[in-house]
């Protein structure tokens, strides 16, 4: 059994804050600052260029990839870190599209995070070969899986509602139709159990600053099925994805494995903080995370529905169809979230009317949920949200 009191003690949570936004930006691991200082002073400061060998910065993207792999059901050597999630989406999609040269349809859904759709659109324009991107409602994806489909590109857990796709079923259906599948695990890695190997996914991507607590701008990850890793052509053919970067060969030969998805020099400081953050997952079982996450979400939904009848549940009621977040709709959701934040409960707002709460069992417990419900109930009952300062829009919501 995972010891959640022990995992909670690994993180810094500001005094007076109940943090229900770990699905957007995870909290700070207590040891991260020291590790960053040590890396900067001892490795960068003292080793200088020797750090690439002596501190093993060069293989860090694969080393950290293996830590992430364990949480998403991927075998060692199938995941590599680097760049941002938007870039990894582009790479995965470019490779997958090229593997189905006779097909022109890419299917995602209209609940996908916009950057995934923007990257697909940009790729289609660059290719200029007549590809189309279709974005049905999430529940209608299946109806577009047919012999025209080149690539199914979905985010498993909808960032707005928390609705979760059935990865295994959709992957099987797409494969039966001869298509490839890319899963975006932005709201899955560290949030719900994922079995990439078991569902035979072709590609997967995700970020590490959400449930994995790697800090703002932490590098993304990409998984490539071992059968494709030897053959998929990386569209971004950077030198660190080369089979022998230090041969300085003028011709590009990709690495024989997932390392071909590396592009350029990795952000070593940020990667080191992420590597430190991943220690919190030592001995943590994703099945325990899931069980606890469902308990916390159910407790929150019950509390909010009992106390705030004006809020409408925007997430699936069935916990099996929901990720590790709960959303409610309210016309004045933006102001409600600002009032909540002013009262120490941090969640976030997604236009047009969704207030969103992430539940991260590593550091959120039942007492936090009770506290959050109580404060939300009071804000709704007293209309404390209806003040001019809570209606003023910030750039980041």
Ligand X SMILES: *Cc1c(COP(=O)(O)O)cnc(C)c1O
Instruction: Find, among 187, 184, 208, the residue nearest to 196 by Cα.
Output: 184
Cross-strand partners of 346: 19
Pattern 182-211, ligand X, x by CB under 6 A: --x-xx-------------------x----
Phi first, then psi, for residue 143 (nearest 5°) are -70, -15
Q: 210 catalytic, yes or no? A: yes
Q: How far is CA 258 from the centre of its chain?
A: 19
> Rounded CA gap, 380 and 212, in Å?
32
Measured in residues, the chain has a length of 397
Token pair 């959640």 is found at 4
> Rounded CA gap, 338 and 389, in Å?
8
Minimum gap (Å) between residue 212 Cβ and ligand X? 12
Minimum gap (Å) between residue 141 Cβ and ligand X? 15
**DSSP at 27:** P
Based on the shown chain and the rule CB under 6 A, indicate whether residue 85 belongs to the binding site for ligand X. Answer: yes
Q: Residue 26 or residue 51: which is nearer to ligand X going by CB?
A: 26
Of 5-64, binders to ligand X (CB under 6 A) are: none
Instruction: Find, among 13, 16, 19, the residue nearest to 348 by Cα.
Output: 19
Minimum gap (Å) between residue 81 Cβ and ligand X? 12
Q: Residue 187 or residue 260: which is nearer to ligand X going by CB?
A: 187
Q: Which of 11, 19, 113, 221 is catalytic?
A: 113
Q: Which of 4, 19, 159, 209 is catalytic?
A: 209
Based on the shown chain and the rule CB under 6 A, indicate whether residue 113 belongs to the binding site for ligand X. Answer: yes
Of 206-225, binders to ligand X (CB under 6 A) are: 207, 220
Furthest-apart CA atoms within the chain: distance in Å: 69
Minimum gap (Å) between residue 381 Cβ and ligand X? 33
Q: 209 catalytic, yes or no? A: yes
Give the interface segment with ligand X, choosing from 63-71, 81-89, 233-241, 258-266 (CB under 6 A): 81-89
Q: Residue 115 or residue 200: which is nearer to ligand X going by CB?
A: 115
Q: Which of 202, 322, 356, 357 is catalytic?
A: 356
> Rounded CA gap, 49 and 65, in Å?
23
Q: Which of 8, 103, 210, 290 is catalytic?
A: 210
Based on the shown chain and the rule CB under 6 A, indicate whether residue 109 belongs to the binding site for ligand X. Answer: no
Q: Residue 8 or residue 210: which is nearer to ligand X going by CB?
A: 210
Count the Cβ atoms, other than its own, within 10 Å of residue 18. Answer: 23
Minimum gap (Å) between residue 25 Cβ and ligand X? 10
Q: 330 catalytic, yes or no? A: no
SS3 assignment, position 337? helix
Q: 113 catalytic, yes or no? A: yes
For ligand X, which residue of 155, 213, 270, 315 counts as binding (CB under 6 A)?
155
Give the interface segment with ligand X, choosing from 1-9, 179-187, 364-372, 378-386 (CB under 6 A): 179-187
Strand runs (DSSP E) across 298-393, as ranges? 312-313, 325-329, 345-346, 348-350, 354-358
Q: Which long-range contacts (CB under 8 A, 24 or more apart) does 175-180 make?
A: 175/200, 177/145, 177/146, 177/147, 177/149, 178/100, 178/103, 178/147, 178/149, 179/100, 179/103, 179/145, 179/149, 179/150, 179/151, 179/152, 180/96, 180/99, 180/100, 180/150, 180/151, 180/152
Q: Which of 184, 202, 348, 368 is catalytic?
A: 184
Q: Residue 85 or residue 222: which is nearer to ligand X going by CB?
A: 85
Between helices 366-382 and 333-342, what is the axis angle to 10°? 120
Of 157-176, binders to ligand X (CB under 6 A) are: 159
Residues near ligand X (CB under 6 A), total:
13
Minimum gap (Å) between residue 47 Cβ and ligand X? 29
Burial (CB < 10 A; 0-12, 13-18, 19+), residue 226, is middle
Q: 356 catalytic, yes or no? A: yes
For ligand X, which residue of 2, 31, 84, 146 counts as binding (CB under 6 A)?
84
CA distances from 69 to 142, 194, 370 (A): 28, 10, 34
Minimum gap (Å) between residue 49 Cβ and ligand X? 29
| Contact residues for ligand X, defined by CB under 6 A | 84-86, 113, 115-116, 155, 159, 184, 186-187, 207, 220
Catalytically active residues are 113, 184, 209-210, 356
């Amino acid at each position: 059994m995972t010891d959640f009191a022990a995992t909670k003690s690994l993180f810094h949570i500001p005094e007076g804050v109940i943090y229900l936004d770990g699905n957007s930006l995870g909290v700070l691991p207590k040891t991260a600052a020291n590790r960053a200082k040590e890396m900067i002073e001892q490795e960068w400061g003292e080793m200088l260029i020797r750090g690439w060998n002596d501190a093993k910065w060069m293989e860090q993207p694969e080393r950290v990839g293996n830590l992430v792999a364990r949480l998403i059901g991927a075998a060692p050597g199938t995941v590599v870190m680097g760049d941002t999630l938007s870039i990894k989406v582009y790479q995965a999609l470019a490779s997958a599209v090229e593997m189905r040269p006779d097909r022109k349809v890419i299917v995602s859904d209209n609940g996908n995070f916009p950057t995934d759709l923007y990257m697909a659109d940009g790729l289609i324009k660059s290719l200029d070969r007549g590809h189309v991107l279709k974005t049905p409602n999430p529940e209608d994806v299946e109806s577009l899986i047919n012999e025209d489909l080149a690539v199914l590109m979905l985010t498993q857990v909808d960032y707005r509602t928390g609705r979760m796709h059935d990865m295994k079923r959709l992957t099987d259906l797409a494969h039966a139709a001869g298509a490839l599948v890319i899963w975006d695990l932005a709201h899955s890695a560290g949030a719900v159990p994922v079995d990439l190997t078991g569902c035979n996914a072709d590609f997967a991507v995700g970020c590490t600053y959400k449930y994995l607590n790697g800090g703002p701008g932490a590098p993304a990850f990409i998984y490539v099925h071992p059968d494709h890793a030897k053959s998929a052509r990386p569209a971004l053919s950077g030198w660190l994805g080369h089979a022998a970067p230090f041969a300085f060969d003028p011709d590009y030969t990709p690495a024989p494995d997932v390392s071909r998805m590396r592009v350029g020099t990795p952000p070593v400081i940020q990667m080191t903080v992420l590597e430190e953050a991943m220690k919190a997952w030592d001995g943590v079982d994703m099945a325990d995370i899931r069980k606890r996450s469902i308990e916390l979400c159910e407790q929150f939904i019950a509390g909010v529905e009992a106390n705030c009848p004006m809020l409408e549940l925007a997430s699936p009621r069935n916990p099996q169809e929901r990720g590790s977040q709960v959303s409610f709709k309210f016309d004045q959701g933006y102001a409600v979230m600002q009032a909540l934040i002013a009262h120490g409960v941090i969640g976030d707002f997604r236009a047009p009317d969704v207030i969103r709460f992430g539940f991260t069992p590593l550091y959120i417990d039942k007492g936090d949920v009770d506290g959050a419900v109580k404060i939300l109930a009071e804000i709704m009952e007293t209309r404390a949200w209806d003040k001019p300062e809570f209606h003023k829009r910030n750039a980041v919501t």
